[in-house]
Amino acid sequence: MTAVSPIQHGATASTPVNLLGLDAGALADWVAQHGGKPFRARQLSRWVHQRGVANFDDMTDLARDFRALLQRECAVAPPAVASAHRSRDGTRKWLFEVGQGNAIETVFIPEDDRGTLCISTQAGCTVACPFCSTGHQGFNRNLRVDEIIGQLWWARHELMAEGDSGRLAGAAPTDDRVISNVVLMGMGEPLLNYGATLPALRLMLDDNAYGLSRRRVTLSTSGVVPMMDRLRLDCPVALAVSLHAPNDALRDHLVPLNRKYPLRELLDACLRYLEHAPRDFITFEYVMLDAVNDTDDHARQLIDIARQVPCKFNLIPFNPFPQSGLRRSPAARVKLFARRLMDAGIVTTVRKTRGDDIDAACGQLAGEIQDRTRLSALVPGRRQAIPIIETPR
């Protein structure tokens, strides 16, 4: 497949409409404005998203005059691929150009029973968590809908082009779904780009587009409480919360957004979200940092949180990068920490480190970001080691 230059989804006299940026409602509106009936929009969506066709002449069941209109005014244009990498464990990573010298990263993780695509929603991130490589890169801009969906469009059809080698193990011969799960856990905070994240989610769930289950689309947030409340009403999907600390004092350092939306507000928002969520629990992500958040006392505090919010814990071994000044918790400590939680009856998993040889593991995505927020100036000491904070027993 040949990479194409990114095109805005809003048309001007010289810029075509990028169909990757239109959800079902927007596409139906565009078709209606040009005299088409609703079924034309559904046909077009299936050609673009399900079949991955970018050449309008190949959309053979569309009327010839409609195809001519599409040729004049539209395009199917994912972001251009700058580089592609394959890990020893089969993990794939693509670097996409998004203009102004910036790039974003997308990761595909194959497993026996699923294929998970991790996509980005921003070029950089303003949250500035010290254990995350993206946060150290600063922030440039929000991605558009076509740039978010373009990652899924490109990865899906690149993998399908590999034939049987790309099909999920055990899948029926007629099942060409290579990507069964999508997680918005790449670069950026999805809920700080809500205007583009919402239509992108709707496209992922649309039966005429990608047809994914709400249970198989997971949005990860650092805890943007007002937008969590909006998402639970607009498009509730599975929710993962980047917790990483069991108390406000430590979380203020590890997840600076906590200073605006502290734990009590976040946990209350989680309970409200569960009223509409496709799953009956919240996944709390918890990166394991040596001598920072991995003590028995921290485990006891997490158990108290689990008594307040139905949840499971996903413990993430820290993936080091040079600027962090942090260390991964020893494997024995992670195992004991997990055992403390499980003995309390809490479902707990330890995330496998995948793709670390190509810098595709959790927390390692960096891309190439022009830091226009000057986070190093805005957050003094952000590159320093996290202080150990004692909490009352």
Q: What is the CATH number of the domain that holds 369?
A: 3.20.20.70
Q: Are residues 86 and 133 in the same domain?
A: yes
Q: Are residues 89 and 48 in the same domain?
A: no
Q: Coil, helix or strand for 333?
A: helix
Cα distance between residue 301 and residue 279, in whole Å = 24
Give the pLDDT confidence score for residue 67 in this predicted structure. 97
Q: Distances in Å between the alpha carbon of 83 and those of 91, 93, 124, 136, 160?
A: 14, 8, 18, 22, 19
Give the pLDDT confidence score for residue 357 in this predicted structure. 56
Q: Report the run of H or E that residue 280 belongs to, with start and end.
A: none
For residue 289, give the DSSP letter.
Answer: B
Give the pLDDT confidence score for residue 131 in this predicted structure. 87
The tokens for 108 are 């595909």
Q: Are residues 47 and 126 in the same domain?
A: no
CB count in 10 Å sphere of residue 175: 11
As a dihedral over the C-alpha atoms of residue 32, residue 35, residue 41, residue 42, rounded to 10 degrees, the angle is 110
CB count in 10 Å sphere of residue 45: 23
Cα distance between residue 262 and residue 304, in whole Å = 16
The residue among 153, 182, 192 whose CA lies nearest residue 53 is 153
Give the pLDDT confidence score for residue 228 in this predicted structure. 98
Into how many domains does the chain fold?
A: 2
What residues act catalytically?
A: 105, 362
Q: Are residues 357 and 213 in the same domain?
A: yes
pLDDT averaged over 10-residue windows placed end to end, the chain, 393 residues:
40 78 97 95 97 96 96 97 88 91 90 92 89 79 96 93 52 57 95 98 98 97 98 98 98 96 98 97 97 97 98 93 84 97 97 59 47 46 37 33
Q: What are phi and psi of 103, to 5 degrees?
A: -140, 155
Q: Are residues 39 and 156 in the same domain?
A: no
Q: Are residues 67 and 112 in the same domain?
A: no
Of 75, 92, 123, the one marking the end of a domain is 75
Cα distance between residue 54 and residue 74, in whole Å = 10
Cα distance between residue 161 and residue 143, in whole Å = 26
Q: Determine the structural domain holding residue 282 and report its residue range.
A: 80-378
Give the pLDDT confidence score for residue 359 in this predicted structure. 53
Q: Report the run of H or E that residue 199 belongs to, with start and end.
A: helix 194-205
Expressed in angstroms, the distance from the first to the final Cα of the chain is 58
